[in-house]
Amino acid sequence: MYNSLPDTLIIGKKVIYLPTCHSTNDIAAEIVHAGLFSEGTIVITDDQLSGRGQRGTKWVANPGENLTFSIILAPQFLEIDNQFLISQTIALGIRSYVASYLAETQVKWPNDIQVNGKKICGILIENSIQGANLKSSIVGIGLNVNQLSFENSFATSLSTETEEAFVLSDEFQKLARHIDAYYLRLRSRKQDKELRDEYLNNLYGYSNDVKFSYQERIYSGRVSAVSKQGKLSVRLSTGEEIADLGLKEIVWIKS
Ligand code: BTN
């Protein structure tokens, strides 16, 4: 059971709790299409039956052990050209929450959250546009909390990493507070550069060489830049740069 959050300004002022549902992003989309929502509304479930991930993948999480929810935002202040800032801001908010337990937490481009090379949280953001600006943004978050075993050997959870058990509703509140603080920074529009810099500084492969595959070859190098539009540039260990990569063009090689 999850209640509306008392100590945030925007995120989770209204919380819709569904014991089970197909996908919280889909429910949130229905609410947006109905046109009646207040910004920051959260749809959260204990048991998501058809969770969706990035690139058409499925998001599977053991019922009652994790946080699976979607936040409805109305970032009408943000131009389409700046929409990647939503991804960066949300990823940073979640990273700072996870880092309160596990300092070495990183963002993996574009917006996975990882600890010790393993994914602890996935984010699926679905934007709608009106004119030159964003209209709504559905931010789906799957955070692994108490789950201890995963089919994917590159997944982890807060419990696995800390060897503690967590009260989900407490962690939901804490996480929402971190996201709220970052979203307020974005809304001010005065911290775009700081948010972009903070994102880069917390990015996997920015401060150290990593391996990735590109056009069926394996390379070693590090992230050199992320453009306003969210495209990735990498500098190979040979010194050459590959610029403006999109989501489907590069695959990180896990080590
Ligand atoms: C990813 O592939 O990394 C993104 C996973 C996003 C999963 C979350 S769980 C809550 C929300 N509802 C969905 O159907 N997906 C997102």
| CATH of residue 101 | 3.30.930.10
Is 161 in the same domain as 239? no
Is 128 in the same domain as 215? no
Q: How many structural domains comprise the chain?
A: 2
Measured N-to-C along each axis, helices 84-99 and 168-188 cross at an angle, to the nearest 10 degrees, of 140
Is 181 in the same domain as 229? no
Residue 181 falls in which region: left (phi positive, over 0), alpha (psi -120 to 50) or beta: alpha
Q: What is the pLDDT of residues 133-172, one digit of tens each?
A: 999 999 999 999 999 999 999 999 999 999 999 999 999 9
Of 161, 181, 201, the residue that ends a domain is 201
Q: Does any domain span residue 8? A: no
Per-residue confidence (pLDDT) for residue 1, from 0 to 100: 84
**DSSP 8-state assignment for residue 56:** G
pTM equals 0.97
Q: What is the pLDDT of residues 218-246, one digit of tens each?
A: 999 999 999 999 999 999 999 999 999 99
State the closest ligand 1 atom to the C-alpha of 22, by its place in the atom list counted from 1: 14
Nearest CA, atom 9, ligand 1: 142
Is 151 in the same domain as 219? no
Which residue is it, tokens 């009646």? 36
Per-residue confidence (pLDDT) for residue 6, from 0 to 100: 93
Is 244 in the same domain as 129? no
Instruction: Judge if the upstream peptide bond of residue 110 is cis by omega within 30 degrees of 0.
Output: yes
Is 197 in the same domain as 221? no
> How would you classify the pairing of strands 15-21 and 42-48?
parallel
Cite the beta strand spans of the chain per DSSP E. Answer: 15-21, 42-48, 51-52, 58-59, 67-73, 106-108, 112-115, 118-130, 133-143, 210-214, 217-226, 232-236, 241-245, 250-252
Q: Calculate what percentage of the chain has a pLDDT beyond 90.
A: 96
Per-residue confidence (pLDDT) for residue 55, from 0 to 100: 87
- 10 Å CB burial of residue 176 (0-12, 13-18, 19+) is buried
- 10 Å CB burial of residue 3 (0-12, 13-18, 19+) is exposed
Residues of the domain holding 247 = 210-252
Q: Does any domain span residue 117? A: yes
Here the CATH number for the domain that contains residue 218 is 2.30.30
Per-residue confidence (pLDDT) for residue 69, from 0 to 100: 98
Is residue 44 within 8 A of residue 67, CB to CB? The reply is yes
Is residue 219 within 8 A of residue 201, CB to CB? The reply is no
Is 122 in the same domain as 224? no
State the closest ligand 1 atom to the C-alpha of 50, by its place in the atom list counted from 1: 14
Is 240 in the same domain as 118? no
Is 140 in the same domain as 41? yes
Is 235 in the same domain as 169? no
Which of 196, 204, 174, 90 has the alpha carbon at shortest distance from 137? 90
Residue to mutate, 15, 17, 48, 109, ligand 1, most ligand atoms under 8 Å from C-beta: 48
Measured N-to-C along each axis, helices 84-99 and 192-201 cross at an angle, to the nearest 10 degrees, of 60
- What residue ranges line ligand 1, CB within 6 angstroms? 23-25, 48, 51-54, 57, 59, 68-70, 112, 122-124, 140-142
Q: Does any domain span residue 114? A: yes
Which of 212, 120, 231, 215 has the alpha carbon at shortest distance from 166? 120
pLDDT at 254 > cutoff 90: no
Residue 226, token pair as written in the block = 């992320």
The amino acid sitting at 69 is F
**DSSP 8-state assignment for residue 253:** P
Q: What is the pLDDT of residues 35-80, one digit of tens each?
A: 988 999 999 999 999 999 998 999 999 999 999 999 999 999 999 9
Range of weakest confidence among 89-98, 118-127, 206-215 = 206-215
State the closest ligand 1 atom to the C-alpha of 111, by its place in the atom list counted from 1: 3
